[in-house]
Structure 1
Amino acid sequence: MQVLFLALGATRKRAVAEESAAVVAAGGRAVVLVSDKKRWAGETFAPGAELVTLADLEARHLPRRVGSAMLYQAPRRVAGAVGRGPLQKKTKTALTTYEKRVAGRVHRRLMVPLHHRVWPTAGARMIHRCFGPADGPDLVVVADALSVRRAVELMETWHSTGLGTPRVAYSVDSVVPSPVAAHAQPPAAR
């Protein structure tokens, strides 16, 4: 089973870490989508559970990679070629200033809004694609209140583009019985 955990608010950290570990232990794939990885630095995830941000996934989209290459990588290569010898220090200073004052602002104020306007479904498609080219998540776990809006957007986008709509739940245990709970019950109760 492939499970997407939407944990944008980071309010149920321990529960998300435990449930993603249970999914991986049961042979499934767990992807935890968060808004900021720094807020999750104290949590340990099971090997096989993937922690990603929407910004990381959108950065994989080809138009964003081209924009990044134009704004950052090309000037770095030019500075690397020009900035040898006595010009090295001035070139490094100029490159740092360019990246902070020009490239960063152009990226935030022009490239990202333009990307969202031209490709509004790119984020949902990149989330779907992280499970494989043809597969998508079987279950979306909405872990906190801040993730509800994103879950609705994902479901609408996936349904309208024909990618299918997975089940939605607040917890993995509400849909799939926990392997631990299944072994704890006496045989007569089953």
Structure 2
Amino acid sequence: MNVLFVALGGTRRPAVVRESARVVADGGEAAVLVGASSAWAREPLPDGVDTVELPALERRYRPAAVRIPLYRIPRLLVRACLPGPLRGLGDRIDGAYRRRVARPVDRMLARLYRRDPAAVRRRVVDREVLRRRSVDLVVVGDPQSLATASELAGVIAGAGARLAYSIAHERPRAGYAGG
């Protein structure tokens, strides 16, 4: 079972560490969505547990309508026009293009596509975390994450994952006919 722990505040670190270790010991995969990885420096996560920083994902977010024409097409053109031994020159040209053209244009456009931070958060979590890792269960790890988890409830349900407050809630009790 793939489990995502949402622990943006990091106030219940020992519980998240304990439950993520249990998931990995049972043969599943675990990831922890954190607000800042520096908050987890004193209590490191067990081996096999990935840490994903939500603010870093939000900063890197670009819609495909910006990413493809601004970054991918120029890189493909440079690689097609300067193959083989000219690859080093192509890499320098690509770096200069990104530094002088793509990044300034991206910063100007960022005001438009990052206007709604909640929509950016939903898209980033859906694309980069839930779909890429095929998450089955999302566990809210601390009280600070409740607002974000409720904001993402539609995205979580759309990805086929369930929302819980502990991994103990992963299966219904005997005799419980959920529906």
Pairwise same-fold verdict (TM > 0.5): yes
Q: Map 1:120-139 onto structure 2 (within 5 A).
A: 120-131=118-129, 133=131, 136-139=134-137
**Per-residue deviation at 1:139?**
0.9
Name the % identity.
40
TM-fit CA distance, 1:42:
1.1
Instruction: Figure out how many residues of one structure are paired with residues of the other and give that number.
Output: 142
**Conserved 8 A contact 1:124-1:158:** no
Contact preservation (8 Å) 1:142, 1:171: yes
Contact 2:131 2:159 survives alignment (8 Å): no
The answer as to 2:167 corresponding to 1:172 is: yes
Shift of the alpha carbon at 1:4?
1.0
1:170 Cα offset (Å) = 1.4
Distance 1:126 1:135 in 2: 13
Q: Which amino acid aligns with 1:128?
A: D
* Secondary structure of 1:3 counterpart: strand
Name the stretch that deviates more: 22-31 or 115-124: 115-124
In structure 1, list runs of 5 or more residues that go unmatched.
79-102, 178-190
SS at match of 1:44: coil
TM-score, normalising length from structure 1? 0.59
- Shift in CA distance, 129/167, structure 1 to aligned 2, threshold 3 Å: same
Give the 5 Å matches for 1:58-69: 58-63=58-63
Q: 1:153 aligns with which of 147, 151, 154?
A: 151
Give the number of the structure whose alpha-carbon radius of gyration is greater. 1
Normalising to structure 2: TM-score of the pair? 0.62
AA partner of residue 164 (structure 2): A
Q: Residue 163 in 1 paired to residue 159 in 2? A: yes
Partner of 1:93 in structure 2?
A: none
Q: In 1, distance between residues paired with 2:48 and 2:156?
A: 25
Counterpart CA distance in 2 for 1:135 and 1:53 is 15
Q: Is the 8 A contact 1:13 1:40 kept in 2?
A: yes
